[in-house]
Amino acid sequence: MILRKLLWLSVLTITISSVADAQTKSVFKENNWENKFDKRWLLMNGVVQAGTRELQISKDRNWAILLNNTTLPENYILTFSTRVEPGTYLFELMLNLSGQHFLGILNNQLESRVAIEDRSLFANPDKVGSYIHTTGHVGLLPKVELPAKFEAWQDWRVQKSGNQVFVWINGEEIITFKDTKGIMKAGGQFGFAVNGKASVSNVQLFKAVGDAAMPPLTFKGKPPVRTWFVFE
């Protein structure tokens, strides 16, 4: 009887996994950074060193910014791994970049925090001081504490479901955000911004439909950091 139950659970697990796989479609996969790198990515600033399995991104006097040329689906799952070098201030994931505006997920290594911010990308850094700024909803979007782990690879999973974003790092539920302000525009691009030096590998983008596009109802995330001030 116990063996029969174990077999039934195994079949059920495989079936659920198969359904989930059937409801995601691979849109982009980076498995060789040396193979036609320039056709899949746009390096706006900084220096890159491409290897077979990873890409090292380094800033110069301004942020290093790397954009992917793929248009994001309405609902998607984005996975990648990153390793941030000591002395690096910020590693940022740029989501739904449309025009100048995007949603930023910042891994702040100096403050040991992960934060969601309403960001803008400027084409003329000499005029505004740097490439990237927080330009709206300052102090209003969520942030959580996360101890910095320099020189350790971190596996990211980011899911966009409707107007919600969920972030896991190393399989742990980290932060979620419900966009009621219209920060995330339809489509757009994703990319990485580094204020220092970091390596990226195993980038995959999936289009999610059906149940795979639904928000994970049990997602909790870390307790939010309370902001003691708000800019008007």
Superfamily of domain 25-213: Exo-inulinase; domain 1 (2.60.120.560)
Task: Provide the pLDDT for residue 2.
Answer: 45
Alpha-carbon gap, residue 69 to 79, rounded angstroms: 16
Total-model pTM: 0.86
What residues contact residue 153 under an 8 Å CB cut-off, 6+ apart? 81, 82, 83, 201
CA 55 to chain CA mean position, Å: 16
* Whole-number percent of the chain with pLDDT over 70: 84
Residue 1, C-beta contacts closer than 8 angstroms, at least 6 positions apart = none
Give yes or no for a contact between 181 and 165, defined as CB atoms under 8 angstroms apart.
no
How would you class 214 by CB atoms within 10 Å of its CB: exposed for 0-12, middle for 13-18, buried for 19 or more?
Answer: middle
| Residue found by looking up tokens 């220096």 in the block | 47
Asked if the model's pLDDT at residue 34 lies above 60, the reply is yes
pLDDT of residue 228: 57
pLDDT given at position 37? 81
Structure token pair of residue 219: 């997602």
> Strands 132-136 and 113-121: what pairing?
antiparallel
- Enumerate the domain spans of the chain: 25-213
CA-to-CA distance for 135 and 193, rounded, in angstroms?
16
Over residues 130-189, the pLDDT tens digits come to: 688 898 888 889 999 998 887 799 999 999 999 999 999 999 999 999 999 999 999 999
